[in-house]
Amino acid sequence: MHGMISKPPGAASNIATSRVVLLLLVVMTGIAPISLYILVPALPVLATNFGSDISIAQMTVSLYMVGIALSQLIMGPLSDRFGRRPVLLGGLALMVAASVACIFAQDLPQLIAARFFQALGGAAGMVVSRAIIRDIYERDRVASMISLVIAALMIGQMVSPLTGGLIETAFGWRAIFYAITVAAIIVAIGIAFALPETRRTRAAGSGFRGDVGMLIRNRAFVGYVMCQVLASQIIFTFAGGGPYVVVTQMGRSSAEYGAWFATTGFAFLVGNLLCVRFAPRHSLEKLIWFGLALQLCGSVANLLWSLIGWNEAPAWLFGTQMIVMAGNAFVMANSAAGAISIRPEAAGTASGAMGFLQQGVGALMSQFGAYLGGHSATTLPLTSAVLAISLLCACVMIFVVPRREVVVSEALIEQAEEEESGMM
């Protein structure tokens, strides 16, 4: 159960220590979200070139996010059944074909459809990378490795809009898709030559329905997924309402909002790096509680600043939100690690379900946050929503996730047998 398919016993540790495999995990995770953000600066140009409203051009982003959500629901179970490598290579092949279609799109509907399939293929890396991490690392190292991958991904996401803007300015918007196509081909070649199959052996007769049934009946899995999904909704809610709060309520420019919002991304990056440092020495449950404490402290402070009126200045709103985001990184990474560790041989299915819920609910919460920010005269509704979500996260850990007192391992069993034989 704990071995690798077609691998000798030492293969898992060899893969886990490979820097090439770690690099591949980063790039396969990042290619879909980076391809999302790299096009954003070119949206006004797309609307102008195709003679359409900006809201129609925006669908190249919104339907791309739908494609990411659906991909995680589909690709995760497929990777459990057929293996990680075939699904990754098939997804990237679809992404390359869709990217070529984007290059030759003659109108926005064609481009929007091609972007959907680009996301459907590219997002395979997001879900399968988490499954591979669970395949090759021990449970207590999964959170730190997820955090490390996310930290590297955050850096890529921060620079991708700037990169997209520079490419569009110098070569035109179609050049962005040339870059995405080349990147997808390079990643596929790297996977084909450097990434071995890591899928765990499966019991005879096990399948998708059996995996799903066992997972949804497991309290720990449901609790970890709920905690991870709820924590991610803090990001979506704040991101949805933030622009209206800063630009409309505070009268600041959109450029200033962008600069302030970048501080929350930096705090999330720092939180992930700290998680990488502390995860090997602490259980994931303790790290989740540490993150929940930071989330709650920051959320309560933000609500108090709203009641007092200090949050009318961006420094107070975003300064406190940085505390929330640092804690959020701990909660999300360790909850994800807990969820995909419940049934390691079904890590792809678990990862896919979690990613689908995160993206699907996130789309709704983003709209909810925009409503709160756009229909209010103060920051109080938005900060109240963030606090409510933080409290729900804590309640899930208290009432849903069971306490893990002792983990029975082979080493403990052998130790107990030795002590028993000594007494006799």
In a domain, 331, yes or no: yes
Residue 275 has pLDDT above 50, yes or no: yes
- Quick one: which of 2, 48, 38 has its CA closest to 118? 38
Calculate mean pLDDT across residues 303-309.
90
Q: Based on the fold, state whether residues 36 and 181 are members of the same structural domain.
A: yes
In a domain, 254, yes or no: yes
In a domain, 193, yes or no: yes
Structural domain including 229 reads 212-410
pLDDT in tens, 146-196: 887 877 777 776 777 778 888 888 898 999 999 999 999 999 999 999 888
Q: Based on the fold, state whether residues 194 and 239 are members of the same structural domain.
A: no
Looking at residue 208, its pLDDT comes to 61
Looking at residue 371, its pLDDT comes to 79
Residue 4 has pLDDT above 70, yes or no: no
The residues pairing with 4 across neighbouring beta strands, listed in sequence order, are: 200
Domain closes at, from 176, 201, 226? 201
In a domain, 421, yes or no: no
Q: Based on the fold, state whether residues 193 and 232 are members of the same structural domain.
A: no
Q: What is the CATH number of the domain that holds 70?
A: 1.20.1250.20
Calculate mean pLDDT across residues 380-402.
92
Q: Based on the fold, state whether residues 291 and 384 are members of the same structural domain.
A: yes
Q: Count how many domains the chain has.
A: 2
Q: Based on the fold, state whether residues 241 and 173 are members of the same structural domain.
A: no
Residue 7 has pLDDT above 50, yes or no: no
In a domain, 418, yes or no: no
In a domain, 417, yes or no: no
Domain closes at, from 201, 228, 259? 201
In a domain, 307, yes or no: yes
Q: Based on the fold, state whether residues 229 and 350 are members of the same structural domain.
A: yes
Q: Based on the fold, state whether residues 277 and 195 are members of the same structural domain.
A: no
Looking at residue 41, its pLDDT comes to 78
Calculate mean pLDDT across residues 48-73.
82
Q: Based on the fold, state whether residues 190 and 243 are members of the same structural domain.
A: no
Q: Based on the fold, state whether residues 217 and 193 are members of the same structural domain.
A: no
Q: Based on the fold, state whether residues 189 and 226 are members of the same structural domain.
A: no
Looking at residue 344, its pLDDT comes to 77
Calculate mean pLDDT across residues 111-125.
93
Looking at residue 13, its pLDDT comes to 52
Over its C-alpha atoms, the chain yields an Rg (Å, rounded) of 22
In a domain, 419, yes or no: no
Domain closes at, from 160, 177, 201? 201
pTM recorded for the entire structure: 0.73
Other Cβ atoms within 10 Å of 266 Cβ, number: 15
Q: Based on the fold, state whether residues 403 and 266 are members of the same structural domain.
A: yes
Q: Based on the fold, state whether residues 88 and 18 are members of the same structural domain.
A: yes
